[in-house]
Amino acid sequence: MRYAWLIFGAILVDTSLLMGANSKTPTLAIEQAANSEAPPTAKEIPKRIVTHGDERVDNYFWLREKDNPEVTAYLKAENAYAEKVTSHLEPFRKRLYEEMLGHLKETDVSAPVKRGEWFYYSRTEKGKDYPIYCRKRGNLEAAEQVILDCNTLAKDKEFFSIGQFAPSDDNRLLAYTTDTTGYRQYTLYVKDLDRDKLLPDTAERVDSVAWTTDNLALYYVTEDKVTKRSDSLFRHELAQKTTDDRLFFEADELYDISVQRSLDRSFIFLTSESKLSTEVRFCKADGAKHDLKVIEPRSPDHKYFAAHRKGEFYLRTNDGAKNYRIVKASPDNAGRSAWKELVPHDPAVKIDDVDLFANYAVLSERTGGLERLRVLDLEAGGSHIMSLPDPTYELAVDLNPDFETSVLRYRYSSLVAPESFFDYDMNKRSRVLVKQVEVPAYDASRYTSERIFATASDGTKIPCSVVYRKGIVRNGQNPVHLYAYGSYGYSYPVYFSYPRLALLDRGVIYVIAHIRGGGEMGEVWRDQGRMMQKMNTFTDFIACAEHLIKEQYTSASKLSISGGSAGGLLIGAVLNMRPELFQVAVAYVPFVDVLNTMLDATLPLTTSEYIEWGNPNEKPAYDYMKTYSPYDNVRKQNYPAILVRTSLNDSQVPYWEAAKFVAKIRTMKTDKHPLLLLTNLAAGHGGASSRYKHLEDTSFDYGFMLAELGIDQ
């Protein structure tokens, strides 16, 4: 999926900067610098593309040539240009960076998670970029054992990321995966924790893993090296020199696979999933070799997911239930005809997930666009919903390795409340705060959040989550930043962000628009913003912007916008549709070359996403995509100030989409506003992996955006 986990956030400043006290008309400094400095020019090499009799000429198709020195030179020239025309903002960016860093507790410890006798946690140290994974035996006062020091593993590497982290049942071994390029291509390693030694057992391009209960074998899924589709399941016996057995290959290009083990450790589940249907296979997890059996054969538009408890499968299914229901079945007769309903469908409540424990089931639900947790007592019967304090928030079940427990670990945050981890006693209905992330120099009482609704062009009410510094008056002159995603049925989380404080303390009102295409209001919400209804995503966003102006939150000259990945598609589309509505836009790793990407089946993600965006090899889908594909709709008109970020090793959205988009706008735009392209030459879809480099990038983005809004102090 073209996801972007991009946090727009920030911190506390001197009171003279509060609520836009030093705001002025948008600065001309960047415009003057941009217009006095000739921007890089990508040469034009026309490529004629004919599809369904329709001819398009792509002058920048050549930028796909990653190994071409001219491509590298162009990207570096754009980086140098962006730095030069914003160089006067360097002192401002340094202040922003120091403010944000001042809200980060650099040396910190995560909430510990108990696995058997061991407490696992991670910690960070001041000045170090990456976490250190540790554990203690018996109690938290015991001696610490460092499991993985990512700072050591990342030494001399420009990028480093941990993917899977899976201790064996006896806590003697650790299976983990690492990516050192940003391409999200992970290598599997197995470490003997008792001896602090790596074993010779490795595998390439590993996506998910699951241990057997005898601690002697691993199931793991690998991806195709070209398409990056997760398509093969292997079983690996430790210390065996024989070739691993491939147990399953997913031949359908619309599907990816993943492997999990049930929390009670009884079964291995292999889930084949497309955007609209699933098929689950299973076998016992005891370590013996077993054939995989299908629970229910795949069928169009049917999605289901499996868990196990006390001899029964619990299935979350959309069979006759758009927003899902829960059914039970015996592993010996698990097909649809034998399903017994446990939780019926409720059109007003979407069941996002179910976590099974020995005596309880916890349903992650969403109603009215808000998350909630429902606890079902599977022995005594009955259920209850946990209460929450804020009008808009993020809520999720956290790591819970113990099947027999009656205590649920969950995490909670809101736009004003830093992330907190709670242990909730499902018997007593009481909770204990395990850890709240400390945010230095932050006073939550100075901020407030609310939930408002904009009206879309077809009358649909679009929820928006809003946060701002108390005391702001709606006079039409406040700077506003509007963010959205709106794809894949993904509900964008309403979380706390310490970098975001740098915006709030300068009078910026921060808004998240929960537009169609996401999953905030259930599966219908998703369907109304995909395929041949994708245009709703863009018009919803425009409606939210217009609502903020109409209700005197802001004006067009004070409105900034951003989005990443598929949210970058959103930003590109609305810039073409309504450029006069925005003062400045920031697009992260934007999916903007929709037609060319979706017509190229050799690229990662393309074929599996035909049922998200449509298959342009079919003329109706091609014609519809062409109406909104940002690259294909750039035209001669004024555009606002624009910053586009991309990464050279992005496997989700290739760097050339952003590069081509910027190159084309340069030749077409009729304004004098700055247009900047920044390419991270050593990262992937999520940008820099170093936490300090990530803050530096954020300070650059905020500096650019705030300056364009008339705030440069």
Catalytic residues: 565, 650, 685
State how beta strands 407-414 and 393-397 pair.
antiparallel
Give the residue from 94, 105, 130, 99 showing the smallest Cα distance to 500: 99
Cβ neighbours of residue 471 under 8 Å, at least 6 residues apart?
18, 19
SS3 per residue for 431-451: EEEEEECCCCCCCHHHEEEEE
Give the residue from 164, 267, 260 showing the smallest Cα distance to 213: 267
Separation of alpha carbons 299 and 285, rounded Å: 27
Separation of alpha carbons 411 and 430, rounded Å: 15
Task: Give 320-378 as a DSSP string.
Answer: T-TT-EEEEEBTTB-SGGG-EEEE--BTTEEEEEEEE-SSEEEEEEEETTEEEEEEEET
C-alpha distances out from residue 188 to 227, 229, 234, Å: 19, 17, 12
Separation of alpha carbons 315 and 300, rounded Å: 17
User: Taking the CB of residue 297, how many other CB atoms lie within 10 A of it?
Assistant: 9
Q: Taking a C-beta distance cutoff of 8 angstroms, is the pair 278, 305 a contact?
A: yes
C-alpha distances out from residue 214 to 197, 296, 377, 683, Å: 20, 28, 31, 38
Cβ neighbours of residue 126 under 8 Å, at least 6 residues apart?
106, 107
Separation of alpha carbons 32 and 84, rounded Å: 12
* One-letter amino acid of 356: L
Phi first, then psi, for residue 343 (nearest 5°) are -125, 115
Q: Write the burial class of residue 599 (CB in 10 Å: 0-12 exposed, 13-18 middle, 19+ buried).
A: middle
Exposure string for 473-509, b = 16+ CB within 10 A, e = fewer:
eeeeebbbbbbbbbbbbbbbbbbbbbbbbbbbbbbbb
C-alpha distances out from residue 499 to 103, 161, 310, Å: 8, 21, 46
